[in-house]
Structure 1
Amino acid sequence: MLLVTAIVLDGLNYAAWLFLIAVGLTLIYGVMRILNIAHGAFYAIGAYVCASTLGIYYSAGLPDALAFLAMGFAAIIVGLFLGLVMERGILKLLYGRDEVLMVLVTYALFLILEDAVKLIWGVESYFAWQPYAYLGYVEINELPYQIYDLLMIALAIALGIGLWFWLEKSRMGRLTTAVVADREISAALGINVTRIFATTFAIGTIFAVVGGVVTAPKIAVTPGIGVEVIILAFAVVVIGGLGSIPGAAIGAIFAGYARALSVHLAPELELFAIYAVMSLVLAIKPHGLFARAAGRKI
């Protein structure tokens, strides 16, 4: 029973983390048709900003309980700033170009941001463990489990529901759905497609930064952490189907439990497990589990 509990909780925790880093990537692709390689760099910046913010926060002697508010505030501000600057300053100039060109541009942005991170924060590791340790742990079926990890699961669920509500119930979300269906017709009907693109890219960037911020207290923040993340995020969205929010959730669950099972039952297969799931899914459904049918244009 202890092993089963560990697999269930670890799989769910890893799936929540994967969803946080992948949902912004699939949202941007679904609306803008941009496979944003720079997403990994946004995650890394979020982790470094969190470490720096917490360093300043604790140096000021502020209450431990309010550190989570500082983390959330930093994630929103930095994500919004990065998203709007990148979209308005660079990507806006390339709309209508070939998708391969957009991939190359975002890859170049990824390399530039990776070097910018090293210039700003250096190459040494940063540690921001205090929020992770502050909450302590609870026992679930006699298994001690960190409360921080449980809150990460709750955060992923809450943000996923919030994103669904925004897309399905808000006016901006419905306009976004219309742009996804046909951006040319949407523009002809008077929808401000430029504003939709800017909003979408900002939200996707905020998700990437949030993923980095909530991960920072669990790891050593070092150069290069964005590289692994973009590969994992791409695997998740490919499993679920590029552009599908439910697909990102299901893909994260598949990948999360594949990793949890391998870690606890066959550790030597840990690095292979997620990509094995991706290969299996693509062999059965080449466009992913929830890929939308492409509209035919004349």
Structure 2
Amino acid sequence: MNTLITILVDGLTYASWLFIVALGLTLVFGVLKILNIAHGSFYAVGAYAAASFVAWGASMGWAPAFSLVAMLLAAVAVAAVLAPLTERGLMRFFYGRDEVLLVLVTYALFLIMEDATKLIWGPLPYYVSEPYGLFGNVEIGVQSWVGYDFLLVALAIVVGGAVWWGLNRTRHGKVVLAVIHSAEVASSMGVNVSRVYMLAFSVGIFLAALGGAFTAPMISVQPGLSVGVIIVSFAVVIIGGLGSIEGAAIGALIVGLARSFAVHVVPVAELFSIYVVMAVVLMFRPEGLFQRTQARKI
């Protein structure tokens, strides 16, 4: 029983931050039709920025609770700086081009950002310890977990709910949905599609950076961080269905529980378990569990 509880809690914790990152990836694909290989790099930059912001706040003598605000501000800063540079300065020149070319462009961006993070922050790891002890420990049965892990679960719920509400219950969200269904028709009705692309790309980068910022206290922030994240994020959106918020949530939960089960039962199959689950899902649902219905072409 204790092992089952441990698997469930650890899987939910892992799924929470993964959902935030994958949500940004699936949002960018849904709106811009871009499979962004560089998404993991924005995650890594968010983690590095959070480490820098938290260290700066500590050096100023601010209270440890400020570290949470610092991590949020780090994600906002990453989106505010990198979104215009990336979308306006690079991606907009390739809209409507072949999908393979877009993948190659984002892969080139991924390589550039990998080297840029090493130039800015260096090769040594960073540690963000202040936020991790703010919430004490939580006892469940005979097991004890760090309270910060449950903050991530709450954050994932809030972020997922906010994105869903923004898309389905606001005027701007309706405009974004119109562009998702048909950018040409939306443009003919007076929608500024270019502005919608910029908005969606900015939110996608913010979500990636937010996931990186709030997982920074749980990991060692070091070069190569983005590689593993983008691979697992792709697994999530492929399982759930590209462009689906519900799919990202279910996909993250499936991947999180599969990984947690493997870690506690068959440790050598940790990464292998994720790909097995993805392969099984694709055997029966090649387009993912929640792929949007598409119009039939004649």
- Say yes or no: TM over 0.5: yes
The amino acid that maps onto 2:190 is G
The amino acid that maps onto 2:143 is L
Residue 51 (structure 1) aligned with residue 51 (structure 2) = yes
Equivalent-residue separation in structure 1 for 2:225 and 2:151 (angstroms): 22
Moved over 2 A (4+): 293-298
SS in 2 for 1:63: coil
Q: Which runs of 5+ in 1 are unaligned?
A: none
Equivalent-residue separation in structure 2 for 1:20 and 1:61 (angstroms): 31
Does the aligned pair in 1 maintain the 2:67–2:130 contact within 8 Å?
A: no
1:188 is aligned to: 188
1:208 is aligned to: 208
Identity of aligned residues (%): 51
SS in 2 for 1:220: coil
The TM-score normalised by the length of structure 1 is: 0.98
Deviations 1:72-118 (A, max 9, x none): 11211212321222111111111111111111111100100110000
1:5 is aligned to: 5
The amino acid that maps onto 2:114 is E
The amino acid that maps onto 2:103 is V
2:221 is aligned to: 221
1:254 is aligned to: 254
Equivalent-residue separation in structure 2 for 1:32 and 1:105 (angstroms): 14
The TM-score normalised by the length of structure 2 is: 0.98
The amino acid that maps onto 2:78 is V
1:190 Cα deviation (Å)? 0.7
SS in 2 for 1:164: helix
SS in 1 for 2:223: coil
1:152 is aligned to: 152
Does the aligned pair in 2 maintain the 1:240–1:248 contact within 8 Å?
A: yes
The amino acid that maps onto 1:156 is A
Deviations 1:143-192 (A, max 9, x none): 11111000000000000000000000011110111111111111111111
Does the aligned pair in 2 maintain the 1:80–1:203 contact within 8 Å?
A: no
The amino acid that maps onto 1:54 is V
Equivalent-residue separation in structure 2 for 1:11 and 1:199 (angstroms): 32
Of 281-290 and 263-272, deviating more is: 263-272
Does the aligned pair in 2 maintain the 1:14–1:256 contact within 8 Å?
A: yes
* Aligned pairs (5 A) from 1:1-298: 1-297=1-297
The amino acid that maps onto 1:36 is N
The amino acid that maps onto 2:180 is V
Equivalent-residue separation in structure 1 for 2:138 and 2:291 (angstroms): 39
Does the aligned pair in 2 maintain the 1:80–1:205 contact within 8 Å?
A: no
SS in 1 for 2:145: strand
Equivalent-residue separation in structure 1 for 2:286 and 2:58 (angstroms): 49
Does the aligned pair in 1 maintain the 2:57–2:66 contact within 8 Å?
A: no
Deviations 1:26-75 (A, max 9, x none): 00001110001110100010111111111111111110112111111121
1:24 Cα deviation (Å)? 0.4
The amino acid that maps onto 1:127 is Y
SS in 2 for 1:126: coil
Equivalent-residue separation in structure 2 for 1:181 and 1:15 (angstroms): 29
Equivalent-residue separation in structure 1 for 2:104 and 2:197 (angstroms): 19
Paired positions, count: 298
1:297 Cα deviation (Å)? 4.7
Does the aligned pair in 1 maintain the 2:139–2:145 contact within 8 Å?
A: yes
1:134 Cα deviation (Å)? 2.9
Equivalent-residue separation in structure 2 for 1:254 and 1:217 (angstroms): 24
RMSD across aligned positions (CA): 1.0
The amino acid that maps onto 2:92 is K
The amino acid that maps onto 2:252 is A
SS in 2 for 1:247: helix
Equivalent-residue separation in structure 1 for 2:273 and 2:133 (angstroms): 30
